Amino acid sequence: MSENAQTTDGDDRGLDAAEQRAAVRERYADAATDVAGCCGDDADPGSCCGDAAASDPEQSALDVGYSDEDVEVVEPGANLGLGCGNPTAIAALDEGETVLDLGSGGGFDCFLAARQVGPSGRVVGVDMTPEMVETARENAADNDAGNVEFRLGEIEHLPVADESVDVVISNCVVNLSPDKPQVFGEAFRALRAGGRLAVSDVVATGEIPPARRADPDSLSACVSGASPIADLETMLSDAGFVDVSIERDDGEPFGGDHDHEHLTDYLAAATIEAAKPAE
């Protein structure tokens, strides 16, 4: 691993796995109960829950790659403005496919995916925050999304059967995990032979400041948990994936303008794609 690699037990940030999960649950429970944003007045403006997302989630979504139509077709409340890309744009979803969304939040990507796979397809969202799952289920009713369901669970231990989905998507969530190899292993297990992974996330492009690495708020804000591209490629290959492709975006990782130290000095948004070998 490179010297910037993040350990799976949190030692590099001074946080163990339980502390990391607690920090993430707390932030996104707040997001679920405040559709205006997850951080409140004292938000860390260098986070994906910063001022841009909190004040205007629609603009935040547009900034990271969603179209006007994407924003308009989903009922308000599902788009919390927390992503760093648009995984449905790279997933090339087909009618009738089954899609699994890791860290599904309010359900925004799930509802977009549901429109693409149609009534014969199915979308399953998994999130570890009970408040977020409850919010997403309410949003499913508002969006008349009968082919979408939300399950409570950790992305390191997915509540789905082996080889039961065609596509795994995720948006700015894998970086939050204290055990990324386990996440990719679980995604591989859930995919059918020939299935594919299409993820938008952040990657480390330089040394993350020590103060950030040791800060639970920075971890839960999608900053200090980012791994270098080379390490992610190794994790995916070790999990069994082939055709691994990770492309960084040199723009603002979370869209919008933030009054903070330059995240782009050591962080970038990226698209992560891979496939499970066909039998």
The CATH number covering residue 152 comes to 3.40.50.150
Q: Is residue 190 part of a domain?
A: yes
What is the number of structural domains in the chain? 1
pLDDT of res. 14:
54
Q: Give the chain as a DSSP string.
A: --TTPPPTTSGGGT--HHHHHHHHHHHHHHHHH-TT-SS-TT--TTSTTSHHHHH-HHHHHHHTT--HHHHHHSPTTS--S--SS-HHHHS---TT-EEEEET-TTSHHHHHHHHHH-TTSEEEEEES-HHHHHHHHHHHHHTT-TTEEEEE-BTTB-SS-TT-EEEEEEES-GGG-S-HHHHHHHHHHHEEEEEEEEEEEEEE-SPPPHHHHT-HHHHHTTSTT-EEHHHHHHHHHHHT-EEEEEEEE-S-TTSS--SSS-GGGTEEEEEEEEEPPP-
Q: Is residue 150 part of a domain?
A: yes
For 196-229, write each residue's pLDDT tens digit: 999 999 999 999 888 887 788 888 888 888 999 9
For 137-147, write each residue's pLDDT tens digit: 999 999 999 99
Q: Is residue 3 part of a domain?
A: no
Q: Is residue 123 part of a domain?
A: yes
Q: Is residue 121 part of a domain?
A: yes
Residue 113, phi then psi, degrees to nearest 5: -65, -40
Of 83-87, 157-161, 227-231, 259-263, give the lowest mean pLDDT range: 259-263
pLDDT of res. 256:
52
pLDDT of res. 172:
94
